[in-house]
Amino acid sequence: MSRSLFQCTTLPPSVQAALGSAGYETVDDVAGVSTEALSAELGISVRDAEILVSTTQAPKVPRMTQSVASLAQANVFTCKYPAVNKVLGGGLLRGHVLEISGPPGSFKESLACDFVQAFLKADEEVVFVDMQNMSSPHALSRLLESTPSAGTLLRYIRIHTLPDLLVFLREVNSKITSKTGLLVLNSLSFVFQSHPDLSPSKKNVILGSIRHSLLEACVTRNLTVITTSQMATKMLHPDGSPAHFDSGAKASHGFTARIQTWLGVKYLPLGRSFRIIIVPQCRRSGYIAFTFPTHVLCIDIKGSES
């Protein structure tokens, strides 16, 4: 039985709606249809049509000259923290997005560089985009000094503004090569924090654009993406509505404060994303929180669940 198109959770909702309106139901229904024809019939962009075709096409059968073990290893990348590998189900899957969040001083960048090292050791190119001047080519070289290939396979890019980021992501497929396996977007939340007057509706549109670009790169280029982000405090009334210090102080029942990731989830491709929150207790201990749709699993850095 052919798989339903609506089980393809990586497809944007707008594409799923267009498919339903046109009467497409299963993967077999779109088999052999060109991206141009799908774009014209469904009224979607060619980029969305390419994502649709790539998501629904049969997976390529690898050459049998490779062992099963080597094939599995090439699609899962591990870091030096057992707790992180554990919550990821063994490691970071190729073609997925990993968000690493935490307060200032947590080892977000160090963890990202662990995965950078894993890709470099696999002889794959890494594009490292820094948005807060929190790292430099020299600092990265120190972190990766045990990896001889870092000098030739690591590309460092500095981006200062939100418009520059959007231009970069819009053209990301032309900026990476066939050897590029990993894209790191370091301090992604910083370019948004630099625009405090950004309206919620405009921010959501931008986050949706970022999600589309990341999904396209993951699906069509099998690119793995790591983002790092700060945490934010959100004020809430007892009924869950947004609050601020003034309104909370005047309310008869007070208010609550919730710590959450600064960017939320709207920029993360559905079905292809993992979220890790680092909760340090001191310099060498703390917890890794892996966010599920309905709950959070906390595992200490040594790997035991709590």
Q: Residue 49: CB partners within 8 Å, gap ≥ 6? A: 35, 36, 38, 39, 42
The better pLDDT of the pair 72, 276 is held by 276
CATH number of 69-300: 3.40.50.300
The 10 Å CB-count burial string (b at 16+, else e) for 115-154 is bbbbbbbeebbbbbbbbbeebeeeebeebbeebebbeebb
pLDDT digits (tens, 9 = 90+) for 167-214: 999 998 888 888 999 999 999 988 988 888 888 889 989 999 999 999
Q: How far apart are CA 190 and CA 131, in angstroms?
A: 7
Looking at residue 281, its pLDDT comes to: 67
Residue 96 binned pLDDT confidence (cut-offs 50, 70, 90): very high
The better pLDDT of the pair 123, 246 is held by 123
Indicate the domain borders of the chain. 5-56, 69-300
Residue 21 binned pLDDT confidence (cut-offs 50, 70, 90): confident
The better pLDDT of the pair 25, 306 is held by 25
Closest of 206, 204, 212 to residue 166, by C-alpha: 206
Q: Is the pLDDT of residue 123 over 70?
A: yes
The better pLDDT of the pair 292, 132 is held by 132
Q: How far apart are CA 137 and CA 122, in angstroms?
A: 20
Q: Is the pLDDT of residue 38 over 90?
A: no
Looking at residue 282, its pLDDT comes to: 62
Q: Structure pTM? A: 0.67
Q: Is the pLDDT of residue 115 over 50?
A: yes
Q: How far apart are CA 190 and CA 18, in angstroms?
A: 35
pLDDT digits (tens, 9 = 90+) for 214-228: 999 998 899 999 999
Q: Is the pLDDT of residue 119 over 70?
A: yes
Looking at residue 265, its pLDDT comes to: 83
Per DSSP, the three-state class of 297 is: strand
pLDDT digits (tens, 9 = 90+) for 251-279: 444 555 445 666 888 899 887 888 888 87
